Amino acid sequence: MKLTINKNSAKWMQLPRDVLVGHGVLEEIGDVCRDLKLKGNALIVTGSTTKNIAGKRVGNLLESAGCCSAETVLTCKATKEEVEKVMEKALEVEATFLLGVGSGRSIDLAKLASTRLELPFISVPTAASHDGIASSRASIVDNGISTSAQAQAPIAVIADTEIISAAPFRFLAAGCGDIISNYTAVLDWEFASRLRNEYFGAYAAALSRMAARVIIDCADSIKPEHETSARLVVKALVSNGVAMSIAGSSRPASGSEHMFSHALDKIAPKPALHGEQCGVGTIMMMYLHGGNWQEIREALKKIGAPVTAEELGIEDKYIIEALLHAHSIRPERYTILGSGLNPSAAEKVAKITKVIN
Ligand SMILES: [Zn+2]
């Protein structure tokens, strides 16, 4: 699916149509289906834990709202094989639309499977740990390598803050890291526009910066079990999806700090959450950009997101290795990392920013 027709003139921006954020909005799912004229058989893509948190409830609500049937497919990993499994199940039950109910993996799988089957899909996040809940990008493991794939945006996002605020706080803090990373993503985008004459979208960049600013300014008030915190973070994550749709790429929300996180996913024996790694990456990439990395570090600390290798639970040597390999993760994406850091520069950035000792 190619959404951008011509980067300089006409654009095709695909956005969610119904976005519900708030306490108990899960109960509105039947109304959302009616509003979107979604009838027939629903397929709920969920995990074993998230099934009990929301998956079962979604199924009951859909059936009582008049869907012919609501079948469930349980998933464990976001791999190419699992996408195929979801597609097979969707064909078997003659699904007319899909729902991804979970923290990330289930949403990515429903997103990719529904895109391939040309069916609509609804995103029902049970945690707010990354901006994939509302975007048209999906993370998927193909042959052991984690890649980001283009897919469709959800037709609706139902983010129940009662459920999201009950998830472990670590997820919400990671979501903040994913949003704060917009700062270095936009700096990288500007850099590529100056050095490579790459298309730069001022509006998408401004929207992306604004979401990061709001999270940094509100860092003091983002607290566990506060539904207002969940509401704020979810809105910023939805806004990130919108910024990417307007840009026609993930540029406004993904730069060198994301490449560092993807490198860690590949290298570290036990990677941390995507948003946690992106947050730490933002501190270091901001230093490389000559920006205010201390502000980023302080905000993440206040929120309770990791700011060091130790807090990520990753050994120092993997941080250095990821810094050395990050530029090669997406060579076509020009960033401050250029053609790569040398080992002494990598060690210097990690030490100065206190990521390693
Ligand atoms: Zn991200």
CA-based nearest residue to 123, from 143, 148, 150, 103: 103
Give distance in angstroms: CA of 63 to centre of ligand 1.
34
User: What is residue 131's DSSP assignment?
Assistant: G
Alpha-helical segments (H) within 198-271: 202-217, 227-247, 256-267
CA distances to 128, 152, 169, 314, 321 from 222, rounded to whole Å, are 13, 31, 10, 25, 32
Give distance in angstroms: CA of 20 to centre of ligand 1.
21
Give distance in angstroms: CA of 62 to centre of ligand 1.
31
Residues around ligand 1, an ion, CB closer than 5 A? 178
Burial, 269: exposed, middle or buried (Cβ in 10 Å; 0-12, 13-18, 19+)?
Answer: exposed
pLDDT at 225: 80
Q: What is the pLDDT of residues 157-206, one digit of tens each?
A: 999 999 999 999 999 999 999 999 999 999 999 999 999 999 999 999 99
- How far is 282 from 293, CA to CA, in rounded Å? 8
The band of 282, judged by pLDDT with boundaries at 50, 70 and 90, is very high
Q: What pTM, to 2 d.p., does this model score? A: 0.93
Give distance in angstroms: CA of 254 to centre of ligand 1.
6
Instruction: Give the 3-state secondary structure of residue 70.
Output: strand
Give distance in angstroms: CA of 242 to centre of ligand 1.
14
Average pLDDT for residues 146-154, to the nearest whole number?
Answer: 87
Give distance in angstroms: CA of 232 to centre of ligand 1.
17
